[in-house]
Amino acid sequence: MEIGGSDSGGREFKNAEEMWREQAGDPSKKTDWYCQGVGYWQGVEASVDGVLGGYGHVNELDVQGSEAFLKTLLCERFPNSGTDCHLVVLDCGSGIGRVSKNLLLRYFNEVRSPEMQVDLLEPVSHFIEVARENLAPENHGSSDMHKATNFFCMPLQEFTPEAGRYDVIWIQWCIGHLTDDDFVSFFKRAKAGLKPGGFFILKENIARTGFVLDNEDRSITRSDLYFKELFHRCGLHLYTSKDQKGFPEELFAVKMYALTTDSPKRVHRTRSKVQANRPRIIE
């Protein structure tokens, strides 16, 4: 990534390679990078306000935006899904189960999937324990057929999913803790965890240009161009994307990406008009 960036203290980097060499350029530095990141979140209260950095009031807007995006994708990617469809989703960086409780379990209940299952992946132990409590059937009103199944207390960079298990892998506000190389390695492993027709949803903060390094929680906010370069390295195709609306102006912009492993289909046209939302290779 040749575009420069900065850190939260205002220091400038000429490119991402320079920043990563300094932050995680040898095994010791890389270990410190990940330990400090998890250590930051270990000191955060296991609540909606805690996991949203004091902006718990954006939870409802976040869920509304995510639900609209997910609903469209499920209709397009699984058009023949019915009451006998078994759908499984992985919630990466799940925290206290906020997205699972407020969106994933509830949404799949609404479409009456008979064996909807949610797996959660989270490296912070007190977050995952609160998630277990939050997603207990007696606490969220869901039937046993719509349930959180597995709780993995493990970081993204060490996780390998079961092959062919997931219809959707949801990744929100956590991929910034991964180095570029681990970002690519994670997605390459995770691709094998998708079922045919399955897809990733990545929802993340977006820098205006280049990147912004957060010195406190050891994370990086990447630009849209930066993400697209990494998607290309992962061998992923951008199916569609959408901006989150309504967040406070002082926050980073937030974008949702739907990513697929299947190549775009060739469509023969007599006119040059491009079909909206057709999968396209990242250039």
- Note whether 256 and 244 are within 8 A (CB): yes
Q: Is 36 annotated as a binding residue?
A: no
Give the separation between CA 223 and CA 265, rounded to whole angstroms: 28
The separation between CA 54 and the C-alpha centre of its own chain, rounded to angstroms, equals 20
Q: Is 70 annotated as a binding residue?
A: no
Q: Is 98 annotated as a binding residue?
A: yes
In whole angstroms, how far apart are CA 206 and each of 59, 64, 131, 230, 270?
18, 19, 27, 14, 37
Q: What are phi and psi of 36, to 5 degrees?
A: -70, -35
Give the separation between CA 18 and CA 210, rounded to whole angstroms: 13
Q: Is 244 annotated as a binding residue?
A: no
Give the separation between CA 281 and CA 238, rounded to whole angstroms: 6
Q: Is 87 annotated as a binding residue?
A: no
Cα three-residue angle 274-191-185, rounded to 5 degrees:
110
- Note whether 61 and 247 are within 8 A (CB): yes
Binding residues: 93, 98, 156-157, 172
Binding residues for S-adenosyl-L-methionine: 93, 98, 156-157, 172
